[in-house]
Each structure stands twice: as C-alpha cells, then as structure tokens.
Amino acid sequence: MEYILAAVIALGAAALGTPLLQTVGRRFRAGAYASIAALGVAIVMVAANTAYGGGVSYFGHLLVSDALGDLFALVVLSVSLAVAVVSLYSSPSAPNIPSYYSLLLFSALGMLLLSYSADLLMLFVAWELMSLPTYVLAGFDKKRVESNEAAAKYAILGALSSAIILYAMSLTYGMTGTTQISGVVARIASEPFNPLVSVAILLFIVGFGFKMSIVPFHMWVPDAYEGSPPAVATLFATATKKAGFVAAIRVVLAVATVYALAPNSVFTLANVLAVLAVVTMTLGNVAALTQKSMTRLLAYSSIAQAGYILVGFAIFAYSQQTGLYAYNAVLGMTGALFHIVNHAIMKGAAFLAAMLVLIQLKRSDLDIYNGLAKRMPITAFTLAVAFLALAGIPPLSGFWSKLILFLSVINTPLAWVAVAAILNSAFSLGYYFWVIKRMYLDQGESTERVNEPSGFVVVFAVLVGLIIGIGLFPQGFIAFAHAAATSLFP
C-alpha cells in the first residue's frame, strides 16, 4: 500500500477542504476536528510505512521512503497534532478557525514532504509549503503589535533564507546538471576540488541554519516566538525547526560523504559544524540565563539545544572527511536523531505548559511562575519534568541522547566539543532549576487554584509519560534512531 501517498492525500484534502466549511453554515469548530482527524490518519499511515513500507520512491524519485524520513515525519506530524488539539483552547475568533487550521495543515504537509525529499527542487517546494503558512500564522493575532512584528521579521528573514537556499541549488545544478540529491553526490564525487561547491555548501548551511536557529542565524527566534500565538510558537520550536535539520542532513551531510570543504585540514566542514555547535549552545544558554520572559527563555534554550544536535553532525562530517572513526560517526548521528526526537517532546511539553499559563494567567514574565505549583499543579509538574529532561538529568529521556552525543566525540580529535557541551549542560542547570525553584519554593501573588483544561491535561500526560518512559526504556527509540542513522547514505 502507498502509505506516504495516503498521508499526503489526507493532509492535502483536509487543508483544502477545511476553509470550505465556512460556506455551509457556521461550522467553524468542525474544521478543527477535521484537521485533528486528518493529522491522526497521516500519523497512522506513516507509522504503517515505518512497520511495513520503506524503500519506495514516488513521482520519479522526487520522494523516497526511508527510515530517516519516517523518523522526522512521525516527529513533525505528532507535534502538529498536539498543536491542533491545544489550539482548541486558544484558537482565533470563530470565523478564522478554518483558515487557521488550513494553514497548520499546509505547513504539516510541507514538513511531511520535506522529510522524504530526494530531489533539490522537491525539497525547495516542500520548504516553501512549510514556511509560507507559518509566516501568516506568526501574525495571526492581528490586534497585537508584537504578533505583527514577529510575522514581519519572520517573513523577511525567511524569504532571505529561501533565496539563499535557491541560489545554492542553482549553483549545484549548474555544476552537476541534476537536481537529484543522489546524482549531485555522485557528480561531485567524480570531480576534482571546485571552490563553487564549497560556496554552495556554505550557502546551504546559512539557509538551513535559519530554520535550525543556529548562531549567527538565530536573531529572529526570540522575537518570533514571543510575538506569535503560543500554539504557533510551539510549532516553530518543535516541528519546523526539525525540518531544517532533515534538510541539512539530506543535502549538507550527503555532500560531506564525498567532498571536503577546502583542500586544507583547518577549514573543513567538520570544523565549521563543530565551531557552530559550541557557539550556538554557549550563546543560547548564556542568553537564556538573563531572560525575564518565559517565552524568550524557552527560545534561547531551544537555540542551545540546536548546538547539542550539531555535535553529531560534526563527528559525522569528520569521519567522512578522514575515513576514521566510522563507529563514532554512526553513534553521533544516532545521538543527534535521538535528541531531535527527545527535543520535540521535551520542548513541546515546556512550550505548551507556558502556553497554558499565558492563557489562564495572562502573563508570560517569570514572576508569574512564583508558587505556580499550588495554583496549577499539573502544569508546574509538566514544566519541571520537561526542564529536568532538557538539562539532561537521569533517568529522563534527554539524559540518554545527550550521553550518546557526548560519547561520540569524547575519544576523537573533537573532544573539545564534548567538553564544551558538558560544561554548557551544567551551566543550563542554573536557569532550569531557577524556574523550578520559583514554582515550588517561592511565594506567589495568589494561591487560588486555576482551571487546567482536560485537553491540555491529556497532552501533558502523554508528553510527560514519553519523557519518563523513554528515559526508563530507551532501547527501542535508540534502535529506531540507529536504523535511521545507518540508512542515511548507503
């Protein structure tokens, strides 16, 4: 069965059909439920493909079903489903609900196609299908100046990153004569060193780095997250961010298997990625410590987490460059993919908890979290578990993925990256424990209990269960990430 095509059809049909509900009466909420159902069907289809499919290409090899695509598709669709569910409690005014969910579905469809893209043009079309709706979603709260500002900044910088990616693709096509990623890799491998290839790779890093929110391409993140509707900020941090990583894996790391960035041993792709990893995690953690707003704190924390993921990319590139440390390369990519899954769960729980606080208490500054455990105990517990997992405290899920990442480089020439990552993880405990201390030990402005809607409680239970469950029984998830890592570039 064509499971991926079924998922594409389900999302596409729902995205196109949801706005039509406005023409057949005031069935605004029906669009939300139809969108949730479509996302559920898509997840089931991708899960079925993971179990029974694989190795199938579609549309003339524009899309290829593989373990890497399955992993990312399950992550981004699950996040989209969680966002769709909680948006029932914070969605815009009734007439705008169908449009909101239609945009969410189009973005989810773009991320699904991006996960399986095997062609540069298909990748770019999927990238734009994912990105364009998010520019509108960022400014969906039209009456807030911050929302309009977030949309404007996000759209301008997003258009710039898309232009950079498209220019890199044009250079690549001009040098190789093909847009098939496998064909590009084969052509580059057969050619002598070409500086234009290096330029194209660096442009791809810049373009994809925007979505991955790596330093110095991260400046849009705090403002966009803070100004966007809370559910949309969750989508940015835990889904579209992952799309940037899968695009970088499909293109940048694919080329890294056959090509050195420069004919010297200093300016190499491995060193570039290693420096970006250290700078990204350091700046993200230092900036997070100084924030007074929970949304901005989570934004900078998300930037720091991107730095940890790049550690796996760096050791993979180093192994391909030197022909050494093949085991470390597989271990590093396994850790990176595992941390991508964990980050989606951990950061999703944190953002959704912050979203509920903002909805119920109308504030996002850290002072409102004083004594939160007495007012919103389930929300406070969810946020505490998410923060402990993000900090890498055992036996929660984040501990295992960080451990694998650090072990992958500790006995290699990139050991200095492991040292920097360990120090950053220790440093991040400062602001994570600071918030937990506020919630459980500090006296709040009020002790009156606040309602925690059942929809949020269900989502919190699932996410916390995953954080704890993966931490206690990580073997299956590590095996899934390992299968995706070993199938990257056969």
Per-residue confidence (pLDDT) for residue 23, from 0 to 100: 61
Residue 279: the pLDDT is 94
pLDDT confidence of 147, banded at 50, 70, 90?
A: confident
What is the rounded average pLDDT of the residues 426-440? 90
Residue with tokens 């993925």: 401
Whole-model pTM? 0.89
CA-CA distance, 276 to 53, in Å (whole number)?
36
Look at residue 44 in the predicted model and tell me its pLDDT. Answer: 93
Which percentage of the chain shows pLDDT scores above 90?
A: 32
Determine contact, residues 401/339, Cβ cutoff 8 Å. Answer: yes
- Classify 263 as helix, strand or coil: coil
Looking at residue 261, its pLDDT comes to 61
Averaged pLDDT for residues 119-130: 92
The whole-chain average pLDDT of the chain stands at: 86
Q: Which of 477, 225, 462, 220 is nearest to 340 (CA)?
A: 477
Q: Angle at the Cα of 47 (from 44 to 51), degrees rounded to 5?
A: 135
Q: Which residues pair with 63 in a beta bridge?
A: 58, 117
489 versus 149: the higher-pLDDT residue is 149
Q: Would you state the pLDDT for residue 469?
A: 94
CA 177 to chain centre: 31
- pLDDT value at 489 more than 60: no
Q: Is the pLDDT of residue 367 over 80?
A: yes
At 338, is the pLDDT very low, low, confident or very high (cuts 50, 70, 90)?
Answer: very high
Residue 42, pLDDT score: 93
Within-domain flag for 363: yes
What is the tens place of the pLDDT at every residue in 245-292? 888 888 888 877 666 666 666 677 888 889 999 999 999 999 998 888
Inform me whether the pLDDT recorded for 170 exceeds 80.
yes
Question: Can you list the alpha helix ranges (DSSP code H) found in 53-194?
Answer: 67-86, 97-115, 120-138, 145-176, 181-190
φ, ψ dihedrals at 208, nearest 5°: -70, -30
Q: How far apart are CA 313 and CA 336, in angstroms?
A: 7
| Residue 73: inside a domain | no
- Residue 104 has a pLDDT of 92
What are 291-323's pLDDT values in tens digits?
888 888 998 998 999 999 999 999 988 888 787
Residue 305 falls inside a structural domain? yes
Contacts of 38 (CB under 8 A, 6+ apart): 10, 11, 13, 14, 15, 105
Q: From CA 278, how far away is CA 406, in angstroms rounded?
A: 12
Which three-class secondary structure state does DSSP give residue 232? helix
Does the residue 22 lie in any domain? no
Residue 488 DSSP code: S
Rounded distance between C-alpha atoms, residue 173 and residue 179, angstroms: 6
| pLDDT digits 0-9 by tens, 385-398 | 999 999 989 889 98
Percent of the chain whose predicted confidence (pLDDT) is above 70: 94
Model confidence over 403-431: pLDDT tens digits?
A: 999 999 988 899 999 999 999 998 888 88
Asked whether the predicted pLDDT for residue 180 surpasses 80, the reply is yes
Does 25 score more than 60 pLDDT? no
SS (H, E, C) 23-85: HHCCCHHHHHHHHHHHHHHHHHHHHHHHHHCCCCEECCCCEECCHHHHHHHHHHHHHHHHHHH
How wide is the angle at C-alpha 480 spanned by C-alphas 477 and 481, nearest 5°?
A: 90
For residue 286, how many other CB atoms are within 10 A of its CB?
Answer: 15
**Peptide linkage before 216 cis (omega within 30 of 0):** yes
Please report the pLDDT score of residue 12 as a whole number: 92
How many CA atoms within 13 Å lie on the side-chain side of 64? 16
Answer whether residue 279 is part of any domain: yes
309 or 55: whose pLDDT is higher? Answer: 309
Burial state string for 200-229 with b = 16 or more CB within 10 A and e = fewer than 16: bbbbbbbbbbbbbbbbebbebbbbbbbbbb
- φ/ψ of 63, rounded to 5, equals -120, 140
Statement: residue 210 has pLDDT above 80: yes
Answer yes or no: is pLDDT of 21 > 80.
no
In the predicted model, what is the mean pLDDT of residues 145-170? 87
Domain count across the chain: 1
361: pLDDT confidence band, cut at 50, 70 and 90?
Answer: confident
320 lies in some domain: yes
Amino acid 473: pLDDT: 92
The secondary structure of the chain in percent helix, strand, coil, rounded to multiples of 5, reads 80, 0, 20
Q: Classify the phi-psi angles of 325: left when phi > 0, otherwise alpha if psi is within -120 to 50, otherwise beta.
A: left
443 pLDDT band (50/70/90 cuts)?
confident
The two structure tokens encoding residue 448: 């009156």
Nearest to 301 by CA among 139, 470, 435: 435
Query: What confidence tier does 22 reach under pLDDT thresholds 50, 70, 90?
Result: low
pLDDT of residue 91: 58
79-91: average pLDDT: 83
Does the residue 247 lie in any domain? Answer: no
> How far is it, in rounded angstroms, from Cα 235 to Cα 79?
7
| Vertex 55: Cα angle to 54 and 56 (nearest 5) | 95
Residue 487 pLDDT > 80, yes or no?
A: no
Helix (H) or strand (E) segment spanning residue 217: none
Residue 1, pLDDT above cutoff 70: no
75 within domain boundaries: no
**134, 236 Cβ separation under 8 angstroms:** yes
Boundaries of domain holding 326: 269-490
Number of continuous H segments (helices) and E segments (strands) in the chain? 21, 2
pLDDT at residue 39 greater than cutoff 70:
yes
pLDDT of residue 89: 78
Query: What's the whole-number mean pLDDT along residues 352-361?
Result: 88
